[in-house]
Structures are given as C-alpha cells and as structure tokens.
Amino acid sequence: MPSTSPEAEVAPVAAAPVPARPGPAAPDGDVVGLGRGRAMVFVAPALVLVGVFLVFPAVWTIYLGLLDYSLTGSAAKAPTFVGLGNYVTALGDPAFTRSLYLTLLYVGFSAVVGQNVLGFLLAWFFRTTHAVVRNVLNVLVLLAWILPGSVVAFLWQALLDRRDGTLNAILGTTDYAWAIDHPMAVIIVFNIWRGTAFSMLLYAAAINTVPRSHLEVARMAGARPWQQLRDVVLPTVKRHVLTNTLLITLWTFNDFSPYLLTGGGPDNQSEILPVYIYKEAIIGGHLGYGSAISLLLLVANLVIAVAYIRLLRTRSHDEATA
C-alpha cells in the first residue's frame, strides 16, 4: 500500500483553464460590427455629396450631349434629340482636331516632360543643399503653386507686356509681343513654372525613401552622381514617377488657366480643349455641342488613366516575380 505524505494531502489541485466565451460572430465583411444599417448611416452623407456633385453632373452632361441645346434661340426653347450628331460634328470639325492637337502638345511638353524633369532635378538638387537654403528655395518654388491663377496670370502679363514688360527690359528687346508671337511656348513655360512644385515635393519624398546605404555602396564602387541616379535612385522611385506622371497629365489635360494668359489666341493658336469647350458652351451658347466635347475629353482622360494604371500593375507584377 503506497504511503501518502502530508504535503500531498494538503496540496491544492490546479484548476483547469476556463475557455473564453466567444462573442457574437460579426457578419461577413463587417469588421467593426456596426451592421449594414448603421454603416450605411455613416456612409450616406458622403454618397449624397458624390451623387450631387459628381454623378448627377456627369449624367446631365451625357444627356445634354445628345441634344441640340443652346442658351438662345429656338434650340433653347425646344431642344431636339440628335443622338450622336454632336459627336460626329465634333470629330469632323477641324477646330476640334486642332484644339486636340494643341492639348496633346501642351500636356506633353509642359507636364510629361517639363514638370516631371524639372521637378525631379530640383528634388535631387535640394537634397544636398544646406537646410536654410533648401527651405528658402522650397518656399520660392511653392509660391508659384499656391498663388491664385488670376494673380499668376496678372504677373505673367506684366512680365511679357509688349511695351513695359519685365522680360523685354531684361533682354533689352523693344516692342516684342511674346504672348502674341509665341502663344503655345508661353503657356507651356507658364504651366511648367506653376506646376513644377507638386512634382518636386512628390519626388523629394520619393528620393528620401532610397536607402542611404545603397547610395554609399554605389559611391564607394566609383559610381558618379549621374550613375547613382540612373542605377540606384530611378529604379527605386519608378512607381512614384508613374504616379506623378498620371496626376499631372490629368490635371494639365483639364487645365483652364492658359485662358487667363492668352484667351486661346491669337487666331486660336493656343486654344486647348478646356478653352475650346468654354468658348463653344458658354460664350457661344452651344451647350449640347460643348457637353459632347466635354464627354470626349472625359473619355481621353479615362484612356490615359487606364493606360498608366495598367503600366503600373505590370511593373508591380514584374517586381513581384523578379
């Protein structure tokens, strides 16, 4: 018969752990447990704003594009349904094709090339400058971006004035009308000057994500600054380059500020699509025709956005499989 020690007789038995009671399971997709009804209450104000300010204007524009609708005359009193007539007229109108060509020229040189390249170079240059100098230069560049468009247009008109313009005084030229003789070059340079700040800020943040150890290794291996930029920095920030290019392309495609500088002239030589739409729909009063062109501009923006997104996804897939 086994003996039992006193300690064994008085030792307490360890209690088994009590499993926690599971709470009520949340519905599928309901992470916070609000329920579909409560969640809709929180989302409803945003949906109302989107519907009023985005969906309704878009649907109304599509509807007007199918009508012969004007601000004056019989077409204003009794609009008639013309179907795709406005679109056929626009695609066959030399003024529209010229405006589309000028828009592509304006976007390509001022946004895709100008703002992209200059913004990246400024971000790359500012990273090595003294903090005080960098802050001052950042403020000067940002001023061009944050000033109202009317103020910027007035400053540029004073700069390019034919008689008392600052640019003519600096270059020693007299009675040279820059905005009349070179309207497209003027609005391209104007947009580069004004919009570069955004690209500079985005690229400055992107360059800061490049590991310093990678740059140090490249420098110790004998790589020159431009080689470090080509082999280390650009491969790291290429996704940011695509994102920035997409944003500034869409913004520039819909930019109306050149109208404040040249009014689309002279002789429609700087009449990009937003200016052309404004002249046809508001000044000319052809709301149906202007709405059709607006929809064509929207389709062009969608094509550009889809192309960039597909390119971005392709790059992401290539990086994941590398």
State the Cα–Cα distance between residues 261 and 246, nearest whole angstrom. 25
Which residue has tokens 């007299």?
174
- 145-167, pLDDT tens digit by residue? 788 888 888 888 888 888 878 88
pLDDT of the residue at 248: 92
- 21-63, pLDDT tens digit by residue? 554 544 555 555 667 777 788 888 889 999 998 889 888 888 9
Residue 199 half-sphere exposure, CB side, CA atoms within 13 Å? Answer: 30
pLDDT of the residue at 318: 62
pLDDT of the residue at 305: 85
pLDDT of the residue at 97: 92
State the Cα–Cα distance between residues 258 and 186, nearest whole angstrom. 9
Is residue 187 within 8 Å of 106, Cβ to Cβ? Answer: yes
Domains in the chain, start-ordered, CATH in brackets?
84-321 (1.10.3720.10)
- Strands, E, within 24-98: which ranges? 67-68, 80-81
Return the structure tokens found at 77: 């009193």
As averages over each run of 10 residues, the pLDDT of the chain (322 residues) reads: 46 50 51 70 88 88 87 76 89 91 93 91 82 78 79 87 84 84 92 89 86 82 80 84 89 89 88 92 88 89 85 69 64
